[in-house]
């Protein structure tokens, strides 16, 4: 959200943000924006229509302005074959930029690397130390990780048991976090810290908030890239899901 001081507007009108100087949306589109729809960009559309890529509460929405500029229609546009002509523009103009921001936010989380840092494929996994399904996925992933094809980045959370936060922070604080995580997942256990670093307590809370903000409620929650898009699976992959998430059949 932008906050612009009134006196700054009076003193330096030429320094206004570009969004303020930009041409206003057509009246029907602006009316939708005033009702809370976020308008991202316009795009070409058939039939004399002008398309607008929009979103509301994280959901992509297509809006089409009629040729006279007086009316707007909200919804997907289909052709005679039933193809959804709105999908590509919404993916390109709304979802892909948003997913790029999501991927950058994941990279800024407190995570433990599991695998070769030069691996072609990266997966982020929200992981609780007391989650048996997280351990199962850790085991499932071994062939790809050990072959150097995939790096798992375990975003540690502590949501399942009273000692989950202490265990998660102890792993993050370990001299070798990857070794601590591996030992824990192999069932060897780790020695939890008595005094938890305040910095990592804060980072763990940030992980919790990020997980909730993404609407995720289960561990493991696995996030991976399919082209420019971020896909999510909550729970343990089943059948063909595993190869799709890993990006290749098992080595």
Q: Which fold has domain 13-94?
A: Nuclear Transport Factor 2; Chain: A, (3.10.450)
Q: Classify residue 245 as exposed, middle or buried by CB count within 10 Å of its CB (0-12, 13-18, 19+).
A: buried
Q: Where do you find CATH 3.40.30.10 in the chain?
A: 109-246
List pLDDT tens digits, range 59-102: 999 999 999 999 999 999 999 999 999 999 999 999 999 999 99
DSSP state letters, 193-239: -SS--HHHHHHHHHHHHHHHHTT--SSSEEEEEETTEEEEEES---T
pTM: 0.84
Averaged confidence pLDDT in the chain: 90
CATH number of 109-246: 3.40.30.10
List pLDDT tens digits, range 12-33: 333 333 333 345 899 999 999 9
Q: Is the peptide bond before 220 cis (omega within 30 degrees of 0)?
A: yes
Q: Where do you find CATH 3.10.450.70 in the chain?
A: 13-94
Q: Which residues contact 37 (CB under 8 A, 6 or more apart)?
A: 54, 55, 56, 61, 63
């Amino acid at each position: 959200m932008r906050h612009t001081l009134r006196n700054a507007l009076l003193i330096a009108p030429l320094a206004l943000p570009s969004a303020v100087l930009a041409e206003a949306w057509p009246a029907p589109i602006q009316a939708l924006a005033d009702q809370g729809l976020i308008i991202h960009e316009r795009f070409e559309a058939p039939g004399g229509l002008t398309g607008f890529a929009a979103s509301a509460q994280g959901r992509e929405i297509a809006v089409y302005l009629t040729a006279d500029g007086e009316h707007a229609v909200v919804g997907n546009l289909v052709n005679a074959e039933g193809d959804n002509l709105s999908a590509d523009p919404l993916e390109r103009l709304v979802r892909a930029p948003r997913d790029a921001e999501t991927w950058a936010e994941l990279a800024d989380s407190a995570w433990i690397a599991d695998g070769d840092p030069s691996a072609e494929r990266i997966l982020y996994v929200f992981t609780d130390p007391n989650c048996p399904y997280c351990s199962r996925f850790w085991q499932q992933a071994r062939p790809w990780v050990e072959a150097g094809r995939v790096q798992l980045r375990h975003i540690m959370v502590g949501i399942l048991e009273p000692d989950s936060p202490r265990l998660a922070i102890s792993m993050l604080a370990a001299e070798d976090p990857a070794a601590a995580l591996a030992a824990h997942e192999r069932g060897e256990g780790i020695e939890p810290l008595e005094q938890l670093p305040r910095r990592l307590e804060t980072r763990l809370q940030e992980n919790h908030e990020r997980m909730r903000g993404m609407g995720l409620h289960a561990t493991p929650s696995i996030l991976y890239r399919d082209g420019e898009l971020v896909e999510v699976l909550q729970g343990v992959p089943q059948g063909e899901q595993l190869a799709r998430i890993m990006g290749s059949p098992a080595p």
